[in-house]
Amino acid sequence: MKLVRKDLEKDNAGQVTLIPEEPEDMWHTYNLLQVGDSLRASTIRKVQTESSTGSVGSNRIRTTLTLCVETIDFDSQACQLRVKGTNIQENEYVKMGAYHTIELEPNRQFTLAKKQWDSVVLERIEQACDPAWSADVAAVVMQEGLAHVCLVTPSMTLTRAKVEVNIPRKRKGNCSQHDRALERFYEQVVQAIQRHINFEVVKCVLVASPGFVREQFCDYMFQQAVKTDNKLLLENRSKFLQVHSSSGHKYALKEALCDPAVASRLSDTKAAGEVKALDDFYKMLQHEPDRAFYGLKHVEKANEAMAIDTLLISDELFRHQDVATRARYVKLVDSVRENMGTVRIFSSLHVSGEQLGQLTGVAAILRFPVAELSDQEDESSSEDD
């Protein structure tokens, strides 16, 4: 998705102009649209014309309309999006208040205006427009003194950092200059990895080099991580995969990606993180039910106690027609993040999202047991009896 323009006021009202570039962008657009929004896009309208002789004909004319959105229809198989609404801006072919259906198309820009842009919608735009969010694979292609830190998306490879350090040759009986320069080079590469690789998204980091450079670098990186207690690197150690490449230049990445070990590692899908989170929730529900809640009321009460470690929520809930209900879900997400909890928004198109939908679409893994809620329910049910 390409962000062309973003005009937001202080009260978060405003408009955004976007160009969907891939079929997946249509799914993002579907999640951005709500009833009552105004949508401006190019469309085709059948217009009747009357000639001077009185004969009536009809032509298909391309025009730009602004609609007040009433119904949204998304075909997940064909990734097509149709939006029906009433015309709210003067147009020479379409009367004010007349109904029209716009079919949004890839590579054709549209402008979406809302009275209130909330944090969940803005985050979705950020994710859809930032290639780093779709890049499942990162790569560090290196040789002594040269390294490229890259992100690999389904459609392109982005170089996020280039590290160059002049490394003197080893001299007979004195290697200190060489070793110091090499250590400085490794340190700069480690910093580039931490700055440019989002470990929440990336599931595999390829470290490719000729010779033993990759082994020496990985040994240095994890020794330093242990010394400085760098949790980010230590927790994601399993994601680093060492492979051979002919040089440290970007073109050598193609050889690394063709490696059979890499291919099998990358067969994992982006939904794997969601599946694991849901699996953790079911395990917790089985072994420690006081630390696994589902249902909006239960989860909200757990959040009031600042007990939520991981919130699992379906994106379907943010498409709720009732503004107040939607705002309630957005408030929950914001509150969990403020309390340093993790929020996982599940796609309702994935199997894991469907399973979460059967659990009311919202669930939480808690930091500590919250037994009071269960006790309150038992007391209230006994009072009802």
Give Cβ neighbours of residue 311 (< 8 Å, ≥ 6 apart): 299, 332, 333, 336, 341, 342, 343, 344, 362, 363, 364
Q: Which CATH number fits domain 2-133: 2.30.40.10, 3.40.50.12240, 2.30.30.870, 3.20.20.70?
A: 2.30.30.870
pLDDT at 270 over 70: no
Distance between CA atoms of residues 383 and 360, nearest Å: 26
The listed range with the strongest mean pLDDT (73-77, 115-119, 202-206, 273-277) is 115-119
Domain covering 271-378 assigned CATH 3.40.50.300 in the classification? no
Q: Which string of DSSP letters, residue by residue, matches 62-112?
A: EEEEEEEEEEEEEETTTTEEEEEEEE-S--SSS-TT-EEEEEE-TT--EEE
Most confident of 118-127, 151-160, 329-338, 348-357: 329-338
pTM of the entire structure?
0.65
| pLDDT tens-digit readout, 301-311 | 999 999 999 99
Greater model confidence, 272 or 123: 123
Average pLDDT, the chain: 86
pLDDT at residue 233 above 70? yes
Q: How confident is the model at residue 381 (pLDDT cuts 50, 70, 90)?
A: very low
- Assign a CATH topology to domain 137-268: Nucleotidyltransferase; domain 5 (3.30.420)
Q: Write out the H or E segment, with its range, that includes residue 118.
A: none
Of 21-25, 27-31, 294-298, 372-376, where does mean pLDDT reach its minimum?
Answer: 372-376
pLDDT value of residue 297 = 93
Poorest-confidence range of 50-59, 92-101, 264-273? 264-273
Instruction: Give domain limits for the chain.
Output: 2-133, 137-268, 271-378
* pLDDT value of position 372: 58
Q: What pLDDT does residue 92 have?
A: 87
